[in-house]
Structure 1
Amino acid sequence: MTLKAQWYRDRLAKKSRKGFCGYPVATVAFYGPDDTRATKVAVGIVAYEGADADPVERWFCQTADARTDPAITEAIVRFIEQHGARSVAAVNRIIGCPHEEGIDYPEGENCPRCPFWVNRDRWSGEIIR
């Protein structure tokens, strides 16, 4: 890993570890077809308590893991800084399928491309049912 890539990775981790430092808050979430490789990261900016995340930016990575891709990490840090986020909320695991309900597959159905996530709790990773 290059020095530049490590710097962005460390910067993101440090901001996340600080906890809540006020609004706006950047939310960082990783998604993948299973719990081993992230193919998508979504970052949203929450301006104030109770607000929806807006703007939201998404990055995709089909060949590597989005959690360790230097270009994606740099883009995430730049996006967060561009929007003046004072806090970063992130989980260190993949929390679900990269496909969006109602966009990539019908509302109320399971993603046909990601059977790993069927009947699985996205936060604990445990099978439910």
Structure 2
Amino acid sequence: MSFKAKWNRDKLAKKREKGFRGYPVATVAFYGPDDKRASKVSVGIIPAEGSDVAEVERWNSDTSDVRNDAGIVEAVLCFVELHGAKTIVGVDRIIGCPHEEGLDYPEGQACQKCSYWAGRDRWSGVVTQG
């Protein structure tokens, strides 16, 4: 990983670790075909308490882990700054399949491309059904 990639990743992590600092809030979520490589990051902006997500941006990579991709992490930071987010929330792990239910595969079914996540709790990673 390049120095710039590590610096950007650490900057994002430090902002997340500061806790709630006010609105707008940026939500950052990582997705991947398994729990090892994040192939997608999704960032949403919640402008005020009680409001829905107003802006969403997604970045994908077929080859790199988006958490370690200097260009993608820099773009995430720019998006967050562009929208004036005072708080960043999220977890530093992959929380599910990068494909979207209802768009990339049928509602109520498991993704055919990401068998790792079938029957698995996306927050704990524990297999919940066989």
Deviations along 1:90-109, one digit per CA (max 9) or x if unpaired, are 20110000000111111111
Give matches, 1:1-129, under 5 Å. 1-129=1-129
Alignment partners' CA distance in 2, 1:113 and 1:30: 17
| Conservation of the 8 A alpha-carbon contact between 2:9 and 2:67 | no
Consecutive unaligned residues of structure 1, counting only runs of 5 or more, are none
Distance 1:26 1:34, change over 3 A: same
Which stretch shifts more, 75-84 or 7-16? Answer: 7-16
Runs of 4+ in 1 over 6 A off after TM superposition: none
Deviations along 1:1-41, one digit per CA (max 9) or x if unpaired, are 44443432232111111000011100000000010100000
Distance 1:113 1:3, change over 3 A: closer
**Cα RMSD after superposing both structures:** 1.2
The amino acid across from 1:118 in the alignment is A
The amino acid across from 2:73 in the alignment is T
- Determine helix, strand or coil for the equivalent of 1:78: helix
Consecutive unaligned residues of structure 2, counting only runs of 5 or more, are none
TM-score normalised to structure 1 length: 0.94
| Conservation of the 8 A alpha-carbon contact between 2:6 and 2:68 | no
Identity across matched positions, percent? 60
Distance 1:6 1:115, change over 3 A: closer
- Determine helix, strand or coil for the equivalent of 1:128: coil
Alignment partners' CA distance in 1, 2:75 and 2:12: 11
Matched length? 129
TM-score normalised to structure 2 length: 0.93
